[in-house]
Structures are given as structure tokens and as C-alpha cells.
Amino acid sequence: VEDRELRTYNTAGVKENGTFYDNEVDDYGQTHLHAIYHHQWSDLHLQTTLHYTKGAGFYEQYRSSDDLSDYGLNLSPETDDLVRRRWLDNDFYGMIFNLSRSKPQYSWSIGGGANQYLGDHFGEVIWVASEGEIPPQDYYRNDAIKNDVNLYGQYQYSFPGRWTVFTDLQWRTVEYKFQGFSSDLSVADQKVNHHFFNPKLGIEKKLGAFTTYYSLGVAHREPNRDDYVQSTPSSRPTPERLIDHELGIRLEQQNLAMSLNLFMMDYKDQLVLTGSINDVGEYNRVNVQESYRRGLEYSLNWRLVPRLSMGGTFTYNRSRIKYLVESIDNWDTGEQIVRAHRNVPISFSPEIVNSLYADWTLMKMKRSDLKLRTDYRFVGKQYLDNTGDDQAALEAYRQTDLTILMNWYPQGFNQITLKGQIVNLFDRSIISNGWVYRYVSSGYDARPDDPHATHIDGDTYTLSGFYPQAGIHFLFGVTMQF
């Protein structure tokens, strides 16, 4: 982590002779359009939004010694270096709406949304070493459609004695259409439908400036596109189900707000990576029968004086998978071995996360003000996979940012803001993401070739990749509101 040369080294685009391909790039962009309408009729409020997002782009890769037949190329030699582009051309559009009414004793709202995602996934070969630049040659194409529709109703009622009950009921349907593998491993058009009912019920009681509450909710989450495309109907994972209990207390005063929330989340069929290879030869996510999260969340916002506010958050989260079977590739035999794990941490779930901030108004005038804000964040140790192995862990890190804001309120504008930010003020070495892969081999030790390779035990080794974050850097921006 502290080796700056190693932190910035990236094997992407490296050729067999050790030089690098100059155009190993990820070139993707999006355009967002929104149309928002809202109307108020006394205590009845309607808001609707139409949205459209256009995205298109590719990432370009240099590949060494690939089999050209895998790309539909009948050339000599049969194995050669090449450059390929993997494209995503997608459209996402839809609408959301909400109709609400609020009275002193009760409030309700109904709403929903309908969205469609169209994703064209395709790959092209644009250069082969023995041929030079060639016209783009398609080597795969897979179009996908996702339809997502939901409706919900929320109701809250206050009883005498400062008791309030609330309910939130959601119905959601999801449909995937894609080209995928049938049970006989032939490629055919596929369709998958899911229907979810997600209820939430709760009760709260006011005790002076304090409010206590309890809620019980059920939620579902469907597998993603890769889970479907890279599997057959017999090996596809099923949706996750979450049962969430929350108990808490809030304090709300003019210059002080605090909250403490305890949560108990139980998962059924949570989707995780275990290293197992399915019937089409892919490392696909699988369902684990039981897993959970337990913890607490605390937040504080305090205005000490009119021009100075401070606050922060603290989260403790104990997350565990009760039983997991890990699959490890055996490079000597071409098969996999399995290892069972019990009560192991869920990947990318640090036990401790906390933050602090201070917001100071340095100057306040009739048509302008100057503000200074500092933010501190701590993220505890977390794991790259679901085995709890310390050799597959990201160490805890902390980061401090400093922001200065100059606001003007000139005629003709609602507000103009000039923003300057120093990110990672103390230039800390931070790694916030990565990957890990285990293999077994009696004939190959990767450590001489890979500085991130480690030895676990016997003939088992770990290969790791890390995504270091930038050191100290600076951001500037201007926002104009009319």
C-alpha cells in the first residue's frame, strides 16, 4: 500500500515484451434528460417525473496470444495478439409519480414507476498483429431488455396519546429478456419474470422531544443480468429476501438532532460469489441459505452557535454468512476442490464506519456568504471475499476533505456557488476496493511473478488485485441556479 510505484502499476495493456499498449482505455459517456411536473391543490400534492438516459461507450483491450477462432477469425497464425473493444449501447427511460395528502392526524401517498432498460452488448476486434488494423469484426452480440414496474401506498395515522402507526406496501414486477443458455447449453432467447411484495409496518411514540419507534419490513432483490446470461435455467440463482427489524430513538430540537437505530437484518438466499463454476463454465453468484447483519447506527447534528455546526455518524455492523462452501481451482488437475466455512464475514462489509464534519460560516453579507467545511471519514477493515481470510482483507483507512464555498445571490439568479475542494487533505494511501482469487498448484508458485500473490498453506495461493484511490487532489466547480 505504501509503495507508490507499486500502487500505480497496472498490468492492463501489457504486451509480452513488457511494453504497454497506449490506448487501453474505458470510453463511456451518458446524457441525462428529466422533465418534472408538480402541482398543489390545497393539501393534495402531485409530482411526476419523466426521465431518459442515453449511454454509449466501450473499453479497449490489448490481448496477447489469443485463439483467433474464439473471435470468428479464420487467419494464420491461429493464435495472435489482437485489440478488441467491448461495447455497451444502452437506453434507460421511464416515469415515476407520487400523489400525497397531509392532514394534522393522518397522511397518505400513492405512487409508483415504470422503467425500461435496453442494453446492446457487443464486441469487436479492430486490430490483429499479423494483419494490422482491420474493419471492426463482431465476435459477440447480446441484447437485453429489463422492464421494472412498481406501485406503492403509504399511510400514517396519529392516535391520541402521541402514538403513530405507519405502513408502506409495495408491489413490484421485474422482467428480463435476453439471449442465454438453455438447459442443453444451446443459445436461445430467454425470459424471466419476478413479482415481489415488499411490506413495511411500524409504530412510534413521542416522549417530549424524543420519538421512539419500531418497524418490520420485508424486501426482495432480483439477480442481475450477468447472473442470468452466464447460467442455464437449472443453475440460475433465485432472488434474495430480507427481513429487517429496526428499533430506535430520535431527539429533535431547534439546534440539536440525534438518533440511535438498532437493526437486525436476516437474509434468505443472499447472492454471493463462492468461486464455484456453474454448468456453462462461469464463476456465477450463488444463493447462500442464511446470512445476517446486526448492528447500530448513531447520528448527531449540533448547531453550537449560529455560524458553526458540527456532527457525525457512527455505524457498527456485524455481518455473517452462517454456512458457505468455497470452490478453489486446482491448476494441476483442472478440477475444483471445496472448503466449508461457518459464520464468516460478508464481503465488503466493514464492522466500523464513522464520519465527522464541521461547517463554519466565515462571512455572511446581504448578497453573499463564505463557508468552510471539513469532513472526516473512517472505514474499518473489510474482506474481498466471503471466507474471512486476513490475506484477502482491505485494511482500515481514514480520509479528510476540506471544502470552501462562496455563494452569491445576484439579481437574475437564485444563487451562484463557487466551490473549491481539497480531497484527501493529508495525502493518505487508501485502497477501497479490490478482488481476490485462490488456486491450488504443486507446480507453480506465483509469488516471484506477482508482488500481490501470497501463500496460504500447502499448495494453496492467493492472487489479489487492488484499486488504490488518489492521493491529495483538488476539485473546482461553479453552480448557477436560476
Closest CA to 7 of 452, 457, 474, 456: 452
Residues 383-410, mean pLDDT to the nearest whole number: 94
Give the DSSP H or E segment for 226: helix 225-229
pLDDT surpassing 70 at residue 388 = yes
For 365, the 3-state DSSP assignment is coil
More reliable by pLDDT, 106 or 3 = 106
More reliable by pLDDT, 281 or 325 = 325
pLDDT surpassing 80 at residue 419 = yes
The answer to whether 416 and 378 have CB atoms below 8 angstroms apart is: no
Q: Output the pLDDT for position 181.
A: 81
Q: pLDDT tier at 2 (50, 70, 90 boundaries)?
A: low
Q: Give the pairing type, strands 26-41 and 44-67.
A: antiparallel
Lowest mean pLDDT of 181-190, 310-319, 408-417, name the range.
181-190
Closest CA to 289 of 320, 317, 321, 326: 321
List strand residue ranges (DSSP E) for 253-366, in order: 256-272, 286-305, 308-330, 336-345, 352-364
pLDDT in tens, 205-259: 999 999 999 999 999 999 998 888 888 888 889 999 999 999 999 999 999 999 9
Q: Output the pLDDT for position 279.
A: 66
Q: pLDDT tier at 19 (50, 70, 90 boundaries)?
A: confident
The answer to whether 149 and 116 have CB atoms below 8 angstroms apart is: no
pLDDT in tens, 55-111: 999 999 999 999 999 999 999 999 999 999 999 999 999 999 999 999 999 999 999
Q: Output the pLDDT for position 1.
A: 60
Global pTM reads 0.87
Q: pLDDT tier at 20 (50, 70, 90 boundaries)?
A: confident
Highest mean predicted confidence (pLDDT) among 180-184, 449-453, 463-467: 463-467
Distance CA 279, CA 236 (A): 10
Q: Output the pLDDT for position 171.
A: 98
More reliable by pLDDT, 475 or 5 = 475
pLDDT in tens, 193-220: 999 999 999 999 999 999 999 999 999 9
AA identity, residue 463: L
Domains observed in the chain = 4-58+87-120+143-172+183-481 (2.40.170.20)
More reliable by pLDDT, 331 or 18 = 331
Q: Output the pLDDT for position 475.
A: 97
Q: Give the rounded percent of residues in the chain with a pLDDT score beyond 70.
A: 99
Q: pLDDT tier at 8 (50, 70, 90 boundaries)?
A: confident
Average pLDDT, the chain: 93
Q: pLDDT tier at 10 (50, 70, 90 boundaries)?
A: confident
Residues 169-186, mean pLDDT to the nearest whole number: 87
Give the DSSP H or E segment for 106: strand 106-128
Cβ neighbors of 404 (< 8 A, separation 6 or more) are: 370, 371, 372, 373, 419, 420, 421
More reliable by pLDDT, 8 or 270 = 270
Q: Output the pLDDT for position 430.
A: 93
Give the DSSP H or E segment for 137: strand 132-159
pLDDT in tens, 26-61: 999 999 999 999 999 988 999 999 999 999 999 999
User: What does the radius of gyration of the chain's CA atoms come to, in whole angstroms?
Assistant: 27
Q: What are φ and ψ of residue 375, in 5° steps? A: -125, 135
Cβ neighbours of 249 (radius 10 Å): 16
CA 87 centroid distance within chain: 21
Cβ neighbors of 33 (< 8 A, separation 6 or more) are: 51, 52, 53
CA 291 centroid distance within chain: 19
The answer to whether 117 and 145 have CB atoms below 8 angstroms apart is: yes
Residues 378-396, mean pLDDT to the nearest whole number: 94
CA 451 centroid distance within chain: 28
pLDDT in tens, 343-370: 999 999 999 999 999 999 999 988 899 9
Q: Output the pLDDT for position 418.
A: 96
Distance CA 115, CA 359 (A): 39
Q: Output the pLDDT for position 284.
A: 83
Q: Give the rounded percent of residues in the chain with a pLDDT score beyond 90.
A: 78
The answer to whether 167 and 204 have CB atoms below 8 angstroms apart is: no
Closest CA to 13 of 112, 68, 95, 83: 83
pLDDT in tens, 261-317: 999 999 999 999 898 887 677 788 899 999 999 999 999 999 999 999 999 999 999
The answer to whether 227 and 271 have CB atoms below 8 angstroms apart is: yes
Closest CA to 403 of 387, 385, 418: 418
